[in-house]
A and B are shown apart, each in its own frame.
Chain A
């Protein structure tokens, strides 16, 4: 870098520590995103038709009773004041109390989130290595029978809606051949082993649903790299195909793979409400949907924010990892 050209301190920092500034920048951006999404969530919920007081009181709601409930819940305050109040609570780790049940949201959220993480974690541990492995194998046997079979199978799995996959699994493995546990209801007093046995079917469903996306992205990213000159060199210097793929192609294809894995992980946590319903699994999605039906807005807000945070966190991690995986950024000249 040319030191004699006047530059902004930030740009200079960026010049000297490209990796660190990039990561710090990404962290700051995530924070901004989180604040923005909290605003969006709050605003969206404000705009929802129907309010808690009338839903709670039912059709016999008199104007006075509605006013009483609104005052009791502090709904008569202006929106910005309620937003600031909510954010202030969040900063103290206080998610507030459910309007419908009066219970502390944080406690409920904790158990629901840990259930969701258990399900997503179990699915990810199987799906991520499996799909990347299958992607590599598909590249290795590109355009041969194995590649085609893997493609066919994964396309079939991704084409079926998740509830349909779920019902098929229930039909085969619960109703016709009673081998799997059902429903997948886990509860606090269960041991981890028992929980894992119970969630086998929803995990299998989720694995089938997410595997194709990651597998195909892995395959495409590596094939993309395979056409570059250095892969040709690797082949010419006598490296085996498998070794060339693992040593040279994969590291250079990591960024898109990391991204697609992060997207799918986020989906496993925030997007599986249908699977939760079908398998009767007490996760976050079900919690949020229940809250929406009764207009229990603090719970909806809390769930929305947690979902947003998870999404942002995973994407941020993916970005940072792809930065780290990029040798040009890791070793600046």
Chain B
């Protein structure tokens, strides 16, 4: 399945912090990528720590995206519910800073790489125990990574780990050898499928006796999942409640009713249309977190009439982005600029002018393209919530520029298999990816199977591979800047808005962290939330 777990981030153009982040990366690179496990870097310290967390209580989460067909094997996780479940029982080797997206120690306490970023060495924490009391050993880690990266693996993380050549233990350390240099390897290991299991889940992929903040107590897929606190947690700065109960509530109205009547403490996936209404309810706090996910219209650059850059440019200029942000997202989002990266990514481009709605310029390019007649745009609310309205809005703003869009509404069921990546012009959605490298590799690399705009540019491919192995962060950022411009001005991607992730919680729930890693506080709501008495 296409990974449609929402992904995430920050809106504020906090330049000071950006600078700080770059400088930090630069010096880390100079030091041969050594990251120490000084407690100062633990993500919990990034929390707005104005209140001391209280322990105890029973936390109830009402989440969507759970199905009867869910299983506990972390390699299969998709959908919000299992995404959260994984972080509740498990730990990854590496985690990320909620605000900067930087790789931080988790089960690995430090790491370093060779100069070409091909050979990586990770040191493992020594004080970690599984829920059943057995100590975490290097074998568990090695086997976990092997299971997910095996070429016959059915793990959803396989795509991320394809470049791994060898995973082995050397002198008590984990050594990962890559086929090609990749300066982002630690970030790849933060993927939510890579929760460390006993013997890597080789004996039983559904064994979720992990090292996380809670022990699984009961699992009824698509219905209810319960956890109790792991009293021996190696990380004392998380897991504040005694027990956690996840209720799968797929119906939007039911989720809101459950929260506003106090039956659950937290709900996810709010509709922008109801967000404002809900924020007026007493005892409820709405949470809007900028994300990496975006709404888009995709043109196949190799199919007429979209093989003409003037036509592509005309359509890009014919979108009123601000109107789309206001009307489709209710303002809960940020403007897009036709490249799939925003400030939530490390080394994101800066200073690229915002593309505006300009019907005259659009008309100019449209004339220049020589195209005549209506253009079919396929849409469905399966693409994103409000995609049909967004297409109609697009149609009316394009009309101002003399471009006729013919909107074809497709069935929701099967949209991702029959329309997306098949039809030359359609509405689409993408969740976030951990790094710019993965973002572009997934959808802009010529050879990618998910190249859903058929963007084929050898120059771009070369830059992408160059940036991947580049350990000098300044040079890397410059490459990413150029790549963003290329995609913005040449590809078939129309990206009007990045959407925020919309959640809500009861007023007595504390500890929420806006985490740019992904939705639901990067899946770690159960770790982070606590109940005020």
B222 within 8 A of A: yes
- Total A-B residue pairs with C-beta atoms closer than 8 Å? 101
Which of A126-134, A239-247, A259-267, A282-290 touches B?
A282-290
Encode B250-265 as 1/0 by CB contact (under 8 A) with A: 1101100110111100
Contact residues in B for A60 (Cβ distance below 8 Å): 159, 449-450
How far, in angstroms, from A290 to B220 measured CA to CA in the complex? Answer: 14
A74 within 8 A of B: no
B416 within 8 A of A: yes
A108 within 8 A of B: yes
Contact residues in B for A2 (Cβ distance below 8 Å): none
Q: List 9 A-B contacts (CB under 8 A).
A: A49-B414, A50-B417, A59-B449, A108-B68, A167-B253, A170-B257, A174-B257, A183-B247, A280-B247
Contact between chains at B258 and A277 (CB < 8 Å): no
In-complex Cβ contact of A277 among B62, B254, B414, B416 (8 A)? B254
Encode B38-82 as 1/0 by CB contact (under 8 A) with A: 000000000000000000000000100001111100000000000
Contact between chains at A182 and B263 (CB < 8 Å): yes
B418 within 8 A of A: yes
Contact between chains at B257 and A282 (CB < 8 Å): no
- A151 CB to closest chain B CB, in angstroms? 30
Contact residues in A for B258 (Cβ distance below 8 Å): 182-183, 280
- The verdict on A188 contacting B220 (CB below 8 Å), with A56-B1, A101-B70, A278-B254 known, is yes
Contact residues in B for A279 (Cβ distance below 8 Å): 254
A6 within 8 A of B: no
- Chain B residue with Cβ nearest A184: B254
A21 within 8 A of B: no
Contact between chains at A59 and B261 (CB < 8 Å): no
A291 within 8 A of B: yes
How far, in angstroms, from A38 to B275 measured CA to CA in the complex? Answer: 46
B248 within 8 A of A: yes
Contact between chains at A101 and B69 (CB < 8 Å): yes
Contact between chains at B1 and A58 (CB < 8 Å): yes
How far, in angstroms, from A279 to B249 measured CA to CA in the complex? Answer: 8
- The verdict on A280 contacting B414 (CB below 8 Å), with A101-B221, A293-B67 known, is no
Which B residues, 64 to 113, have Cβ-Cβ distances below 8 Å to chain A? 67-71
- A299 CB to closest chain B CB, in angstroms? 8
Contact residues in B for A319 (Cβ distance below 8 Å): none
Encode A177-219 as 1/0 by CB contact (under 8 A) with B: 0100011010111000000000000000000000000000000
Leading 6 A-B pairs by shortest Cβ distance: A100-B69, A290-B68, A282-B223, A174-B261, A58-B1, A290-B67
In-complex Cβ contact of A98 among B62, B69, B253 (8 A)? B69
How far, in angstroms, from A54 to B250 measured CA to CA in the complex? Answer: 24
Encode A113-128 as 1/0 by CB contact (under 8 A) with B: 0000000000000000
Contact between chains at B220 and A187 (CB < 8 Å): yes
Contact between chains at B414 and A187 (CB < 8 Å): no
How far, in angstroms, from A50 to B250 measured CA to CA in the complex? Answer: 23
In-complex Cβ contact of B223 among A55, A56, A185, A189 (8 A)? A185
Contact between chains at B261 and A182 (CB < 8 Å): yes
Contact between chains at B247 and A59 (CB < 8 Å): no
- A51 CB to closest chain B CB, in angstroms? 9
In-complex Cβ contact of B417 among A55, A62, A189, A296 (8 A)? A55
Contact residues in A for B257 (Cβ distance below 8 Å): 167, 170-171, 174-175, 182
A294 within 8 A of B: yes
How far, in angstroms, from A178 to B283 measured CA to CA in the complex? Answer: 14
A332 within 8 A of B: no
How far, in angstroms, from A182 to B254 measured CA to CA in the complex? Answer: 9
Encode B1-19 as 1/0 by CB contact (under 8 A) with A: 1100000000000000000
- Chain A residue with Cβ nearest B448: A60
- A181 CB to closest chain B CB, in angstroms? 8
B224 within 8 A of A: yes
8 further A-B contacts with Cβ under 8 Å, apart from A101-B69, A108-B68, A188-B220, are A55-B1, A59-B449, A170-B254, A185-B247, A282-B220, A286-B222, A287-B68, A299-B68
How far, in angstroms, from A101 to B72 measured CA to CA in the complex? Answer: 9
Contact between chains at A187 and B224 (CB < 8 Å): yes
Contact between chains at A59 and B416 (CB < 8 Å): yes
Which B residues, 433 to 487, have Cβ-Cβ distances below 8 Å to chain A? 449-450
- B431 CB to closest chain A CB, in angstroms? 13
- B6 CB to closest chain A CB, in angstroms? 17
In-complex Cβ contact of B2 among A59, A170, A293 (8 A)? A59
Contact between chains at A50 and B418 (CB < 8 Å): yes
Which A residues, 43 to 93, have Cβ-Cβ distances below 8 Å to chain B? 49-50, 54-56, 58-60, 62
Q: How large is the interface on A (under 10, 10 to 19, 20 to 34, 35 or more residues)?
A: 35 or more
Instruction: Give the interface of A toward B (CB within 8 A).
Output: 49-50, 54-56, 58-60, 62, 98, 100-103, 108, 167, 170-171, 174-175, 178, 182-183, 185, 187-189, 277-280, 282, 286-287, 290-291, 293-294, 296, 299
Contact between chains at A286 and B68 (CB < 8 Å): yes
How far, in angstroms, from A299 to B71 measured CA to CA in the complex? Answer: 15
- B246 CB to closest chain A CB, in angstroms? 11
- B426 CB to closest chain A CB, in angstroms? 13
- The verdict on A59 contacting B222 (CB below 8 Å), with A174-B257, A286-B68 known, is no
B218 within 8 A of A: yes
Contact residues in A for B263 (Cβ distance below 8 Å): 174, 182-183
Q: Which of A167, A278, A280, A294 has its CB near the most chain B CB atoms (within 10 A)?
A: A280
How far, in angstroms, from A233 to B270 measured CA to CA in the complex? Answer: 66
- Chain B residue with Cβ nearest A274: B251
Contact between chains at A175 and B222 (CB < 8 Å): no
- A12 CB to closest chain B CB, in angstroms? 53
- A315 CB to closest chain B CB, in angstroms? 28
- A199 CB to closest chain B CB, in angstroms? 14
- B161 CB to closest chain A CB, in angstroms? 14
- B148 CB to closest chain A CB, in angstroms? 15
In-complex Cβ contact of A290 among B222, B253, B420 (8 A)? B222
How far, in angstroms, from A271 to B5 measured CA to CA in the complex? Answer: 31
- Chain B residue with Cβ nearest A49: B414
- A284 CB to closest chain B CB, in angstroms? 10
Contact residues in A for B220 (Cβ distance below 8 Å): 187-188, 282
- Chain A residue with Cβ nearest B158: A60
In-complex Cβ contact of A59 among B223, B251, B417 (8 A)? B417
Contact between chains at A296 and B416 (CB < 8 Å): no
B421 within 8 A of A: yes
How far, in angstroms, from A282 to B248 measured CA to CA in the complex? Answer: 10
How far, in angstroms, from A54 to B418 measured CA to CA in the complex? Answer: 11
Contact residues in B for A178 (Cβ distance below 8 Å): 261-262
- B217 CB to closest chain A CB, in angstroms? 10
Contact between chains at A101 and B1 (CB < 8 Å): no
How far, in angstroms, from A299 to B220 measured CA to CA in the complex? Answer: 17
Contact residues in B for A296 (Cβ distance below 8 Å): 69
Contact between chains at A280 and B249 (CB < 8 Å): yes
Contact residues in B for A282 (Cβ distance below 8 Å): 220, 222-223
In-complex Cβ contact of A175 among B247, B248, B260 (8 A)? B260
How far, in angstroms, from A174 to B261 measured CA to CA in the complex? Answer: 6
- B390 CB to closest chain A CB, in angstroms? 22
How far, in angstroms, from A189 to B217 measured CA to CA in the complex? Answer: 12
Contact between chains at B261 and A277 (CB < 8 Å): no
- Chain B residue with Cβ nearest A174: B261
- Chain B residue with Cβ nearest A61: B449
Contact residues in A for B416 (Cβ distance below 8 Å): 59
How far, in angstroms, from A299 to B69 measured CA to CA in the complex? Answer: 10
Q: Which of B70, B249, B257 has its CB near the most chain A CB atoms (within 10 A)?
A: B257
Contact residues in B for A185 (Cβ distance below 8 Å): 223-224, 247
- A72 CB to closest chain B CB, in angstroms? 11
Q: Which of A60, A108, A279 has its CB near the most chain B CB atoms (within 10 A)?
A: A60
How far, in angstroms, from A274 to B94 measured CA to CA in the complex? Answer: 42
